[in-house]
Amino acid sequence: MSGELLENGLTKQLSNFVNALIAISPSRNYVTQFLYIIKINDGIDYKIIEETYPEIVKDEYVRESFAKAFGVSFKDKVTLEPRKYGEFFVNFLDSVLQIFEDAEFRSKVGFFLKNEYPQGIPNLAQEWLEVRLKGLSSEPTYGMLALKVLKEIVRVGRATIEELEKSLSMGRGDVIETTKLLKLYGLIKEDLYGFTVSESLKKYQHLLEGV
Amino acid sequence: MNNEKNLKDHLTNLINALTNLSPSRNIISQLILLTPEDQATLNNSFPEVNISEFREVLRAMGIVFGDKIECVKDSFAETIIKLIDKTFDWLDDEYIYFYFDRYSDIRIAKMDNVRSNLAKLTGQHIDLIPNPYLEWIKLVIEKLSHEYGKDKIAKILKELLTQLPLTYGGHYKGKTLQESIDEIGAKIRLTPSELKEICELIIYSEGKSEHIYRIRYGGWDKTTEELWIEHSRYHLDPLLCTSQRYIISSIGWTNEFKYELRHKESLQKVLGEIT
């Protein structure tokens, strides 16, 4: 086989491989996103996930088939059942986001796929964060308020509920609801001393300015 | 957050993407799956490896090039191999997992209605749900049939299907796995080297077991139970092994082994097609 033919064939194969990995990213696939959101929250209240992903949770027939196919437990808290495929798959997604965050990997793959991706191979970790920020800002009830709280946590680095109430002149109920939403989207984390920004947002803080 | 298209489309896209990552559809997955392998052998099967820019892509995924081409531990390439193995099992209703029952005893189970549930969710007939394992075993059997003869490969599959499950050691006086495989080889008149090669390629490969669990019971005999999947070079992995270590008063410690056949239906389908 001539060098050119070999390279053309390889480009097709690589395109198929890379596109499959991109297609399963939580930023591009609703099912993946549902499973990954459960993972990053270590389980979610049934009511919250039902509101966020009604297509999967509302209908009993769909919910049960989904539970059996992926290994998801729908109780008061929705969790991924240990050692089943859903749990394995979301851990695999961590590796996908990680490798697409690697600029060296993207540029080496981009060498072959420059026609298909003239802007470069997407950084899926960044894209996933963009999707979450966009999703947050379009939440009808607390979306805009949650963004305000998020920006404040980014500004001060760490904040408790009381500090947020005071600095943003917000009611306690609103602060509690907005921080719940921010935790659901994996944008902040909570420890004994208050809320801090998630690792992914720390890396791409500039994205927050565009929201 | 992202529900523009409907659930069926997203699920179909996900299944298709996972299928496209399987070795029957993609030479990159195939190449990664077949590592570790001699540089010369892989260069011969995959001339693409000689393209230096492609080597760079493989290096970025954690493949190293020495006398052998292999995956770095915990690299992305190694994760791809695990994904392929697990997706083979998942979409062939063979995904094994363990759990603890209400008495905290360990139990083993299989996710065995995956295909029918995916068919319900996507609104497709079950036969239209891709089966990457079945696609891959067909390719492997076709390749081996060219190399060793269709007849021999068909007979090996047939013998596997009839001889398993098998139990030996402990209270059982049956043949060991190796004795059974030697017997198959003798029946089919394979040379010892042919038998060893075929066994490594499609049945099991020494040192490639995937350990699933080990549990110690605290009774007077301190039984230990272990479970593992045997991997073969081509990742057809038809053997599931359970071993139990316990005391028989007359002889002391003893190990009992049970080998069961995985992917039975797919093996039968392939056998039906080649015969």
pLDDT tens-digit series, residues B53-69: 999 999 999 999 998 99
Q: What is the domain range of residue A42?
A: 3-122
CATH number, domain containing residue A169:
1.10.10.10
Q: Are residues A42 and A110 located together in one domain of the fold?
A: yes
Element (H, E) at B241: strand B239-248
Q: Are residues A36 and A93 located together in one domain of the fold?
A: yes
The stretches in chain B having pLDDT less than 50 are 2, 4
Q: Are residues A7 and A83 located together in one domain of the fold?
A: yes
pLDDT of residue B4: 44
- Return the structure tokens found at A156: 């001060």
Dist. CA A171–CA B60, nearest whole Å: 50
pLDDT of residue A1: 55
pLDDT of residue A37: 96
Model pTM score: 0.94
Q: Are residues A20 and A92 located together in one domain of the fold?
A: yes
- The CA-to-CA distance between both ends of chain A, in Å, stands at 51
Residues from chain B contacting residue A92 (CB–CB below 8 Å): 79, 82-83
pLDDT tens-digit series, residues A16-32: 999 999 999 999 999 99
Residues from chain A contacting residue B26 (CB–CB below 8 Å): 13, 16-17, 20
Q: Are residues A52 and A23 located together in one domain of the fold?
A: yes
Among A59, A91, A122, identify where a domain stops: A122
Q: Are residues A114 and A14 located together in one domain of the fold?
A: yes
pLDDT of residue A2: 63
Dist. CA B75–CA B55, nearest whole Å: 15
Q: Are A23 and A16 in contact (CB under 8 A)?
A: no
Q: Are residues A134 and A97 located together in one domain of the fold?
A: no
The residue extents of the domains of chain B are: 7-128, 132-274
Q: Mean pLDDT score of chain A, rounded to an integer?
A: 95
In this complex, do B20 and A17 lie within 8 Å of one another by their Cβ atoms?
yes
Residues in chain B: 275
pLDDT tens-digit series, residues A154-201: 999 999 999 999 999 999 999 999 999 999 999 999 999 999 999 999
In this complex, do B121 and A82 lie within 8 Å of one another by their Cβ atoms?
no
Residues 44-63 of B with CB under 8 A from A: 47-48, 51, 53-54, 56-57, 60-61
Residues from chain B contacting residue A19 (CB–CB below 8 Å): 17, 20
DSSP class of residue B62 equals T
Helix axes A30-41, A85-101, angle to 10 degrees: 100
Mutation site, A4, A7, A10, interface B, largest B CB count within 10 A? A10
Q: Are residues A41 and A105 located together in one domain of the fold?
A: yes
Identify the residue whose tokens are 């904040």. Answer: A159
- If one compares A85 and B177, the residue with the highest pLDDT of the two is A85
Question: What's the ipTM?
Answer: 0.94
Looking at chain B, which residue has its C-alpha nearest residue A71?
A: B111
